[in-house]
Chains A and B, each alone.
Chain A
Amino acid sequence: MLLEIDDVTKTYAGASRPVLRGVSLTLAAGQTLALTGESGSGKSTLLHLAGALDRFDGGEIHLSGQPLSGLDDAGRAALRRSHVALVFQQFNLIPSLSVAQNLAFHARLAGRPDRDWIARLTERLGLAELTLRYPEQLSGGQQQRVAIGRALAARPALLLADEPTGNLDETASTAVMDLMLELVRESGTALFLVTHSQAIARRLDRHLHLAGGRVV
């Protein structure tokens, strides 16, 4: 199993009630999974835990066979660098770097820079004209395409995406999502996608729903 979440609980500091009260799920390599749920149900929280971005209180998560609970800051950072890639709703890009530098950033950080692959991604995502620009000079849809390109350029085993098209209008959203799913399938990356859209969720291999702090 690529990702195994087992009875995980999480309560934010200062909060009275837990966000997650025993969540379990698994994700195999190359599989795609959609997670839906009401606003505030804890989707983002769960995704962050799976990406070794934050700590959980109980249960265990295995990523590529590694238990996350025992890892320190450096261990988790190393895991993020080499095993997972992230696409969030906004502010994914590093503002002081150009599009080209952003695209290559994660791959170089992971020690897997692959010029040809990056060039192909750039082409496929329609970013060839924009490589010298800075993130601020891009539209929201363009920014999200760069973020997706940067994530896949690193050839991660798992792509975590949290409403990557949440800030875009309907047309742009569909176009970006189509591209992402296509490229994910092509590269054989596993996808854990948080979304509000039932239509998109239906297009993925599996679809889970989060409510009351549990997967239903």
Chain B
Amino acid sequence: MRRAALLALWSHWRRHPLQLATLLAGLALATALWSAVQAINAEARASYARAAAQIGAGGLDRLEAPGGPIPLARYVALRRAGWQLSPVLEGSWRLGERRLRVAGIEPLSHPPLPAFAALAEDATALPQMIAAGGLLLAAPDLAADLATALHEMPGRPQVRASDQVPPGLVLTDIGVAARLLGRPDQIDRMLILPDQPIGLAPLSALAPDLQRLPGRAGSDTARLTDSFHLNLTAFGLLSFAVGLFIVHGTVGLAFEQRRAMIRTLRALGLPMRLLTGLMLAEVMALALLGGLVGLGLGYLVAAALLPDVAATLRGLYGAPVAGGLTLRPAWIGSGLAMALAGTLAASLHALWRAARMPILAAPGLQAWAERAARASRLQALAGLGLIAAGLGALWLIEGLIGGFALLAGLMLGAALLLPPALAALLRLGRRRARGVVAEWLWADMRAQLPGIGLALMALLLALATNIGVGTMVKSFRQTFTGWLDQRLISELYVTATDDDQGAEIARWLAPRVQAVLPIRSVDFTPGGAAAGQTVTVYGVVDDRSYRDHWPLLQTAPRAWDRVMAGEAVFINEQLARRVGIGPGDSLTLAPNWQLPIAGVYSDYGNPTGQAIVAMPSLLAHASAVPNRRFGLRLPAAEVPVLAEALRQRFDLPASALIDNAALKAQSLAIFDKTFVVTGALNLLTLGVAGFAILTSLLTLWSLRLPQIAPVWALGLTRSQLARLEIGRSLLLAALTALLALPLGLLLAWALLAVINVQAFGWQLPMALFPLDWLRLFALALLAAGLAAALPARRLYRLPPSDLLKVFANAR
């Protein structure tokens, strides 16, 4: 009996292969985009975890000097006193065009690292590591470059590739690191090992000037990038929801069309419980199939997008993420679970309706529309409620979660409001329509609304997201470009190979240019309100260029004078927002160095806190401030000549000299690469929405004939009707797009003024790009036109006898 019933149910799909394909495609698309985002997130998280395990030894307390490096002798002294410590020297190192991070550790005392664990099996490794040349460990692609680059270096270290080392990092013995970084007899911090002998003199007595900092629970990168991943997840969820619209539509129609069959099966004595169970099983089997296809697609999408995401994370947060994708069982499991749960949610309504189906004949379209009208009032109320809840959440819940709650409330609420709003517009259109065909068209659209409402909601969400995210990115770009113009003060930037050469270059340049602006900085770990932050403090010399160009957001009176006199400090917007300080407050950079804040400057694309002080004060409070980079002011026309002279005189590599325009182009290129992913996801969601329209039009097809046949019989041609069919779809899409515009702008505002501040630490002015709206409008029309083209073609080609069947067959 069960078998027979199953065969009967299944026969529906055999007779409607297109419906089956639509259902599977909807499922696959939903799963694909969702799981692609999940794969990307999982990959990035794994990278952070690897990085944290590798270099962080994050759980251990550490000892640092507030103003800079610690002399190696201090470490030796503390060891003699019995303290179990492990020294770390870290710094950035240039390899040709690339900027790498070098981490030097002491392998014997340092807590075990995965990369070294792998080496332990190789008996030659440890001696090599401590031997004169030393051993460098790096990720495979970097290792290859290193080997080539170091080929000529005297007493060069051996290079080994290791999967365990995060990208962009060179891991080595502390002695080798000191040599590479040119910082002999220095360390940056000491890790305080867990097991210490009893009865030691306290560290506070032995080294009162050193700060003991607690170990960090999670890695910094993970916390910083959380918002980015939340963003991606929201995108994935949106696409998933759009895909589920398709599933909901198809399943609903399939059940509607199978009413007669279900009734017959029941009449034949099949209990409804069993029937419902069978239908549930059927839907779940389809979900499994669609989900598997979706996972395959998702893997491809993720693999295609991951390199760009990795670039984004590196560019925006300095987070180390590799560009390769690995297949994880957990990902497959969660993807399938999502497909099953989503399908269940999307089919529950149809199942429920089938289970309590009235014995009366199926209600027609108009009754459906009437019922929908009643439901739409409720829906409108629910929509308004959701928007209000979103606004309330922003007000009540602090931070990023509140911001996302606002977004979710806005988007869902607006989607629910769409059908009632469209219905009102269509009523208006109908009232103003002239001519009998136009009147019919408006009335007909109104009657169709419940059928394609869901697809139009999907379109609304996709368009609004497009406008919102597009506006955010472009506003950001505009601000960023303007900011670069201000910030890149100098016409030419030069980087020396070491401090000595730096000093020589500065001397040589002094008579030849208008100004030499040294770019020197040291990382501080401030106390007071800003404790726990790392602040890169830049020293600047007093030059008009700064006063004229520096992009200050807020200032106190006489700001520049006070900063130049060493009496005040400027901080960047990130630090100001993160700590909640500004002009009027003060910043404690070191125990003996506290300065009032004289201003806040914008500093885009930089994840960390920054401060600016007068150069003499920086040099007074920090030892060993590198002096290798300089900005040069000179007439733009003289740049090529001077650059050539510099190169000749000091034998500098091409990468050591970069002019303003090139630097700007480089920065913008990085910026653009950063947002490639967003663009791709934007387009994908729009595609899915277009597909949702197509599927709902196709599934409505069988309900459509009784609507069209009378009009055709009364004297309209099939080609006229086909054109009207396309026009209908275009008009609905156009109306939806018009409603999407204000929603998108609202979304943009929320992203710029709420999410950005929470996620990146900076606020951006919003700019409007009407040309983009036009382009998007055209895209929406194209999607709707294409979606309607298939049904319209079918109508155009329909034999008259098929249309005539409507009037004769008892249906």
**Real complex partners, A and B?**
yes
Binding site for B on A (CB under 8 A): 12-13, 44, 48, 51, 53-55, 73-74, 77-82, 86, 88-97, 101, 104-106, 108-110, 134-137, 162
Knowing A12-B801, A54-B804, A94-B710 touch, does A73 contact B718 (C-beta < 8 A)? Answer: yes
A89 to B707, CA, bound (A): 16
Given A105-B440, A136-B366, 15 additional A-B pairs, CB 8 A: A13-B799, A44-B808, A55-B800, A73-B719, A77-B712, A80-B713, A88-B713, A91-B706, A91-B806, A94-B444, A94-B707, A94-B711, A95-B364, A96-B440, A106-B715
Q: Point out the residues of chain B lying under 8 angstroms from A12, CB to CB.
A: 801
Q: Point out the residues of chain A lying under 8 angstroms from B213, CB to CB.
A: none
Q: Point out the residues of chain B lying under 8 angstroms from A79, CB to CB.
A: 715
Contact of B714 among A55, A91, A105, A137 (CB under 8 A): A105
With CB as the reference atom, state the residue of chain A lying closest to B718: A73
Q: Does B165 contact A (CB under 8 A)?
A: no
Give the distance to chain B from A11, nearest Cβ to Cβ, in Å. 12
With CB as the reference atom, state the residue of chain A lying closest to B708: A94
Contact of B443 among A88, A90, A96, A162 (CB under 8 A): A96
With CB as the reference atom, state the residue of chain B lying closest to A77: B717
Complex contact B801–A105 (CB within 8 A) = no
Q: Does B716 contact A (CB under 8 A)?
A: yes
Q: Point out the residues of chain B lying under 8 angstroms from A13, CB to CB.
A: 799
6 tightest A-B CB contacts, nearest first? A81-B715, A88-B807, A96-B447, A108-B436, A80-B715, A136-B366
Knowing A109-B714, A136-B367 touch, does A97 contact B709 (C-beta < 8 A)? Answer: no
CB contacts under 8 Å to A, within B510-565, are: none
Q: Point out the residues of chain A lying under 8 angstroms from B439, CB to CB.
A: 97, 101
Q: Does B446 contact A (CB under 8 A)?
A: yes
With CB as the reference atom, state the residue of chain A lying closest to B705: A91
A159 to B446, CA, bound (A): 31
Complex contact B715–A95 (CB within 8 A) = no
Knowing A92-B710, A95-B364, A95-B706 touch, does A110 contact B715 (C-beta < 8 A)? Answer: yes
With CB as the reference atom, state the residue of chain A lying closest to B368: A136
Complex contact B715–A88 (CB within 8 A) = no
Complex contact A95–B365 (CB within 8 A) = yes
A94 to B716, CA, bound (A): 13
Complex contact B804–A53 (CB within 8 A) = yes
Q: Point out the residues of chain A lying under 8 angstroms from B716, CB to CB.
A: 77, 109
Give the distance to chain A from B437, nearest Cβ to Cβ, in Å. 8
Give the distance to chain B from A82, nearest Cβ to Cβ, in Å. 7
Complex contact A134–B366 (CB within 8 A) = yes
Interface residues on chain B, number (Cβ under 8 Å):
37
Q: List 6 A-B contacts (CB under 8 A).
A: A77-B716, A88-B713, A94-B707, A95-B365, A96-B707, A109-B436
Q: Point out the residues of chain B lying under 8 angstroms from A136, CB to CB.
A: 363-367
Q: Point out the residues of chain A lying under 8 angstroms from B446, CB to CB.
A: 96
Give the distance to chain B from A143, nearest Cβ to Cβ, in Å. 12
Knowing A73-B719, A94-B440, A101-B439 touch, does A162 contact B807 (C-beta < 8 A)? Answer: yes
A82 to B801, CA, bound (A): 21
Q: Is the interface of B mostly helix, strand, loop or mixed?
A: helix
Knowing A44-B808, A91-B807, A96-B366 touch, does A105 contact B713 (C-beta < 8 A)? Answer: no
Give the distance to chain B from A156, nearest Cβ to Cβ, in Å. 11
What string of 1s and 0s marks CB contacts (under 8 Å) between B705-735 and chain A?
0110111111111111000000000000000
CB contacts under 8 Å to A, within B352-410, are: 363-367, 369
Give the distance to chain A from B169, nearest Cβ to Cβ, in Å. 67
Q: Point out the residues of chain B lying under 8 angstroms from A95, CB to CB.
A: 364-366, 447, 706-707
Complex contact A77–B443 (CB within 8 A) = no
Complex contact B713–A54 (CB within 8 A) = no
Give the distance to chain B from A155, nearest Cβ to Cβ, in Å. 14
With CB as the reference atom, state the residue of chain A lying closest to B720: A77
Knowing A53-B800, A89-B807, A134-B366 touch, does A105 contact B707 (C-beta < 8 A)? Answer: no
Give the distance to chain A from B89, nearest Cβ to Cβ, in Å. 78
Give the distance to chain A from B370, nearest Cβ to Cβ, in Å. 8
Q: Point out the residues of chain A lying under 8 angstroms from B807, CB to CB.
A: 88-92, 162
Q: Point out the residues of chain B lying under 8 angstroms from A97, CB to CB.
A: 439-440, 443
Give the distance to chain A from B128, nearest Cβ to Cβ, in Å. 83
Complex contact B717–A74 (CB within 8 A) = yes
A84 to B711, CA, bound (A): 14
Contact of A89 among B366, B444, B800, B808 (CB under 8 A): B808
Give the distance to chain B from A78, nearest Cβ to Cβ, in Å. 7
Give the distance to chain A from B514, nearest Cβ to Cβ, in Å. 77
Knowing A13-B799, A48-B804, A73-B719 touch, does A93 contact B710 (C-beta < 8 A)? Answer: yes
Complex contact A105–B806 (CB within 8 A) = no
A77 to B369, CA, bound (A): 30
Q: Point out the residues of chain B lying under 8 angstroms from A77, CB to CB.
A: 712, 715-717, 720
Complex contact B710–A91 (CB within 8 A) = yes
Complex contact A54–B706 (CB within 8 A) = no
Give the distance to chain A from B444, nearest Cβ to Cβ, in Å. 5
Q: Point out the residues of chain B lying under 8 angstroms from A106, CB to CB.
A: 714-715
Complex contact B713–A86 (CB within 8 A) = yes
Give the distance to chain A from B811, nearest Cβ to Cβ, in Å. 8
Give the distance to chain A from B430, nearest Cβ to Cβ, in Å. 10
Give the distance to chain A from B809, nearest Cβ to Cβ, in Å. 9
Give the distance to chain A from B73, nearest Cβ to Cβ, in Å. 90
Q: Point out the residues of chain B lying under 8 angstroms from A90, CB to CB.
A: 807-808, 810
A167 to B806, CA, bound (A): 14
Give the distance to chain A from B36, nearest Cβ to Cβ, in Å. 41
What string of 1s and 0s marks CB contacts (under 8 Å) between B427-453 and chain A?
000000000110110011011000000
Knowing A12-B801, A96-B444, A96-B446 touch, does A109 contact B715 (C-beta < 8 A)? Answer: yes
Complex contact B717–A88 (CB within 8 A) = no
A134 to B446, CA, bound (A): 14
Knowing A44-B808, A48-B804 touch, does A53 contact B713 (C-beta < 8 A)? Answer: yes
Q: Point out the residues of chain A lying under 8 angstroms from B811, CB to CB.
A: 91
Q: Point out the residues of chain A lying under 8 angstroms from B800, CB to CB.
A: 48, 53-55
Give the distance to chain B from A55, nearest Cβ to Cβ, in Å. 7
A110 to B712, CA, bound (A): 13
A13 to B717, CA, bound (A): 21
Residue picked from A78, A94, A162, most chain B C-beta under 10 Å? A94
Q: Point out the residues of chain A lying under 8 angstroms from B444, CB to CB.
A: 94, 96
Complex contact B801–A54 (CB within 8 A) = yes
A137 to B365, CA, bound (A): 11
Q: Point out the residues of chain A lying under 8 angstroms from B364, CB to CB.
A: 95, 136
Residue picked from B364, B369, B713, B718, most chain A C-beta under 10 Å? B713
Q: Point out the residues of chain A lying under 8 angstroms from B719, CB to CB.
A: 73-74
